[in-house]
Structure 1
């Protein structure tokens, strides 16, 4: 009996360790400041070290909050002629979830090939009946890393990617999930603030390839041909790149992109992120940027946040940032779910990635990098608008917070690598 219990206990311990750690080598040395974001070498570095090339002639349209985001996405879905590929972390039952299901069902019945890849954990609040209705209509629904005996060691690896590609020609990415929290215009705590982006041009093929990464992993099938990868004509003027990271492939690409971009900054770094829990190297990189004259500004959620422990873990790390002069703002009206970084008003990175260890090393993520001053200027203006709705926390205020708050933040900091 004791031998059996020991074996079971050992197996459980192995599974826990497997889920709490990743196998890849981790970047531990601070990246040297060798060139600026505006230097052609920076673009070459992104295109070679992250993998996908930076492609010219794209159009990227910013969409702010549910009032803009959901109509644009639904219009694209309802206009689909051949294929829809859709990967998301959050899809919950509710008004907007039903609307999306009806749109996908209608297109599937019209003969469009609809492929829906849902994270098993992120769709825990989705009614099984909705999935059955979609499947009966012809929608191919696949769950990412569901609970199975053979993948227990991968349960902590979730797909956090948010990708939609219609007919291989129009793509969407950003921070929005399919849930009623994202309805409205961020006007109150029940309606979140977020950004999403509509994409056209050659980079849409990279978005489609990113979807295929996890689709192949879960189905062992390949979606290809002109219906998924049609010829793509120039659609705008923006150079852009869609890249991905995956714990299952031992990738540190998202973390590297953030570190390299901040290390290459010469004027400004603006980070708007829902879950800002940087590791020690990320903190050191931001401090180094601030000390060489870069203005580093960060907007994070305030008291309206869906995960209090994340806010506490985040605040436990702010002292060296505030001491260096980094400006940190807490968004006041509602949950701030945006995931945008703007560097030197040239590089803009948008997508699913949070600034935390879970996004950097545990989850599958995807971000769109746009290297264009015009697009960056628009996102910088949006950052300033969000900043006006935020409250800056000073070093004196941080140091004078009550002891019980300090204690809770210290405790949350102990588990920050899993947040």
Structure 2
């Protein structure tokens, strides 16, 4: 115990010094707009948004028809209220006529991605924070080289820090096969075309095939996803991990063995989510990739291609929200904050890294106090403990406000999803932490309407059944060591 106390004192001193160095900028500037007092008319909502369909931008009458179709799925007033809340933060660009598919865990995601790559006719672009030279990445490289040899244009963009453990030989092999490969913001200044802050990372996960089929979400090209998490999206049940205490049960709950945690991660896989999209929203992902490719001065060009003309592949209404450190305000943050503040019935969040800052915690607590069913699924263990501890520092206040918190068991949680009022669903790369909101390139796909919201809610229910709920009284009984870790991590919350 004396060693632990000494460590805490040292940590507090270091944290105080770091805090004195300054605070990162806030992800939202100025006053946060109040949520709509009531659901506006469909005509008014249509006037506040821009909508792109299969044949281009839509006029007012067509926008009303698209919004009416989404509202007809159910909970029309909630949907109109949520779209009005989005528009209060600025422009809202929507895409109509999309076909969407929810992909749960790595096996289902990799199968869908490989299938799309195998059917490519013109072009494949892939952007990922991590591409590691493990089995799944080797299979991917083999397939991409095969498609390139068949005349398909292929471009790959990976983050230099996220993929730091990958051997150069992996990427060199693809370059030699004619694939355009580019590292985002290399650490070595001699390899940079121009200066970028080293903290600026590309955390996006995007695959676009022929500008027609797109994928985005939280899954990297990594072996940790190969086995699935043991849930309904995996190939089968994962091996049971050794029993360990759950935070909130006793004073010693937060203690962990790094070696056994790493072994458990390999055995049980990671729980994550992606979305597959066909339709106009895919073009936004394609444009995003090409913009970053150009900004990084990557060798070669990525052609701008138009999808084959035809009817809309689906009926889903979507947003695709990018975020970069250069943005005046983080639009993913404002989406989540505005939607939570406007929520009337439910807020269901599943977050791998939860260190959200005061505004977001205030919004969650306020929603719970006004009777909204607010529930969070958060990790019981993490590949980066300080963020998890920073998030836990908010538990007591949220539990007292009526927020229900569950920690996922038997898998490492890496998903970043939300479904709000059953009509706003988001799947993306952005965590609810300051690194995502301030330092990274991120992207979230948002699907509007109750049909997809129902699928998201069912997924949330399955994850909640695999989680352990945190009890307020038992959480208040946690020990000094756990409280100290939370306090220390909270002081660094804006730097993790």
TM-score (norm 1): 0.90
**Structure 2 residue matching 1:417: 3-state secondary structure:** coil
Alignment partners' CA distance in 1, 2:209 and 2:27 = 36
**Structure 2 residue matching 1:54: 3-state secondary structure:** strand
Q: Does 1:117 align with 2:195?
A: no
Q: What residue in structure 2 maps to residue 145 of structure 1?
A: 185
Alignment partners' CA distance in 2, 1:388 and 1:399 = 24
Change (3 A) 1:414 1:392: same
Alignment check: 8 A CA contact 1:353 1:365 kept: yes
Alignment partners' CA distance in 1, 2:329 and 2:310 = 28
Change (3 A) 1:288 1:65: same
| CA shift for structure 1 position 41 | 5.4
Deviations 1:255-291 (A, max 9, x none): 1111011011100000001001110000011111111
| CA shift for structure 1 position 251 | 3.7
Residue among 322, 325, 329 paired with 1:247? 325
Change (3 A) 1:263 1:103: same
Alignment check: 8 A CA contact 2:367 2:374 kept: yes
Alignment check: 8 A CA contact 1:52 1:243 kept: no
Q: What residue in structure 2 maps to residue 92 of structure 1?
A: 132
Residue among 445, 454, 472 paired with 1:377? 454
Residue among 147, 155, 164 paired with 1:107? 147
| CA shift for structure 1 position 24 | 7.1
Q: What residue in structure 2 maps to residue 181 of structure 1?
A: 224
Q: What residue in structure 2 maps to residue 324 of structure 1?
A: 401
| CA shift for structure 1 position 418 | 1.8
| CA shift for structure 1 position 212 | 2.1
| CA shift for structure 1 position 31 | 4.1
Question: Which aligned pairs between 1:202-221 and structure 2 lie closer than 5 A?
Answer: 202-219=280-297
Alignment check: 8 A CA contact 2:208 2:215 kept: yes
Deviations 1:118-172 (A, max 9, x none): 0111111211111000001111111111125476651101111111100010000
Alignment partners' CA distance in 1, 2:30 and 2:473 = 31
Q: Does 1:356 align with 2:358?
A: no
Q: What residue in structure 2 maps to residue 397 of structure 1?
A: 474
Q: Does 1:386 align with 2:429?
A: no
C-alpha root-mean-square deviation of aligned residues, in Å?
2.3
Change (3 A) 1:204 1:153: closer
Deviations 1:230-263 (A, max 9, x none): 5464111110111101003344111111101101
Residue among 359, 373, 384 paired with 1:295? 373
| CA shift for structure 1 position 224 | 4.2
Structure 1 stretch 238-247 or stretch 215-224: which is displaced more? Answer: 215-224
Residue among 269, 273, 292 paired with 1:195? 273
**Structure 2 residue matching 1:33: 3-state secondary structure:** coil
Alignment partners' CA distance in 2, 1:320 and 1:375 = 31
Structure 1 stretch 188-197 or stretch 96-105: which is displaced more? Answer: 188-197
Structure 1 stretch 103-112 or stretch 332-341: which is displaced more? Answer: 103-112
Q: Does 1:157 align with 2:234?
A: no
Alignment partners' CA distance in 2, 1:350 and 1:20 = 32
| CA shift for structure 1 position 21 | 6.4
Q: Which runs of 5+ in 2 are unaligned?
A: 1-17, 40-76, 231-237, 239-264
Alignment partners' CA distance in 1, 2:162 and 2:310 = 32
Alignment check: 8 A CA contact 2:28 2:333 kept: no
Structure 1 stretch 271-280 or stretch 151-160: which is displaced more? Answer: 151-160
Deviations 1:396-419 (A, max 9, x none): 122111111111111111111122
Alignment partners' CA distance in 1, 2:123 and 2:24 = 35
| CA shift for structure 1 position 27 | 3.4
Alignment partners' CA distance in 1, 2:24 and 2:198 = 12
Alignment partners' CA distance in 2, 1:54 and 1:193 = 29
Q: Does 1:53 align with 2:96?
A: no
Change (3 A) 1:143 1:398: same
| CA shift for structure 1 position 213 | 2.6
Deviations 1:28-60 (A, max 9, x none): 645423246724353255468464521211111
Larger radius of gyration: 2
**Structure 1 residue matching 2:170: 3-state secondary structure:** helix
Alignment partners' CA distance in 2, 1:231 and 1:49 = 33
Q: What residue in structure 1 maps to residue 109 of structure 2?
A: 69
Residue among 284, 288, 308 paired with 2:385? 308
| CA shift for structure 1 position 81 | 1.3
Alignment partners' CA distance in 1, 2:204 and 2:87 = 20
Change (3 A) 1:128 1:411: same
| CA shift for structure 1 position 178 | 0.6
Alignment check: 8 A CA contact 2:29 2:329 kept: no
Alignment check: 8 A CA contact 2:161 2:187 kept: no
